Amino acid sequence: MGYRSLWFCIFFLVPFSVSAQYYETGQDPANLKWLQIKTDRFRIIYPEKYGINGIEFARSLEQAYNDLSVLYPVSRARIPVIIHNYTTQSNGYVAWAPSRMEIYPTPEQNTIPLDPNRSLALHELTHVLQMQSLNKGFSRFMSVFFGQQFPGAMAALLPLWYLEGDAVFAESALSGAGRANSASFQKQLKAISVEKGKVY
């Protein structure tokens, strides 16, 4: 490969696959005014027009923490929670470098009988507590050198079914509703279990 081809690859092809920032969800309008609520455990950042819903989500997070702290005895740390309400998706995720929880609070179309704030708070907070519980022992020692990236790398070693299954279980067991109690969620499991000739 000649030098021209190499330089072409470096300057024109590589930048398309590289992200300069951790934050990639920038769908929010640039003219938004942001507000924040600080509690002992959370720093909730939300658009001004989200209004009273930001306070309600803060309550849901605090209640979820009280429920989940029995299962995950971890040290207290104030977690940033960023709410993006200018989207059509209902979801959330936890990123660990830098540590934060990003929430998309639009209610799902196939809703289940549960407050969507409570469901999102329980599910995503379970992921936060999973990550915090990984930051012990050897992982905590390595965090001194590698920062928040090391517990995130350790989480990559865990199977996805464990991380998501634990969060769905917590959301379902602690709320009385949740996805595991939803018929639309269970239908696939039932279809697999009644398939002829298969033993699961």
pLDDT in tens, 18-52: 554 444 566 788 889 999 999 999 999 999 999 99
Range 139-149 average pLDDT? 88
- Where do the domains of the chain lie? 23-193
Confidence of residue 128 (pLDDT cuts 50, 70, 90): very high
pLDDT for 100 equals: 92
- pTM for this model (two decimals): 0.79
pLDDT at 3 over 80: no
Q: What is the CATH number of domain 23-193?
A: 3.40.30
Task: Kindly tell me if the per-residue pLDDT of 13 is higher than 70.
Answer: no
- More confident site: 181 or 114: 181
135 vs 58 pLDDT, higher one: 58
The model's pLDDT over 100-114, given as tens digits with 9 standing for 90+, comes to 999 998 877 766 666
Question: What mean pLDDT, rounded, does the chain reach?
Answer: 83
Q: Are 101 and 82 in contact (CB under 8 A)?
A: yes
With helix as H, strand as E and coil as C, how does the chain read? CCHHHHHHHHHHHHHHHCCCCCCCCCCCCCCCCEEEEECCCEEEEEEHHHCHHHHHHHHHHHHHHHHHCCCCCCCCCCEEEEECCCCCCEEEEEEECCEEEEEEECCCCCCCCCCHHHHHHHHHHHHHHHHHHHCCCHHHHHHHHHCCHHHHHHHCCCCHHHHHHHHHHHHHHHHCCCHHHCHHHHHHHHHHHCCCCCCC
| Residue 60 near residue 115, CB atoms below 8 Å | yes
Question: Looking at residue 110, what is its pLDDT?
Answer: 65
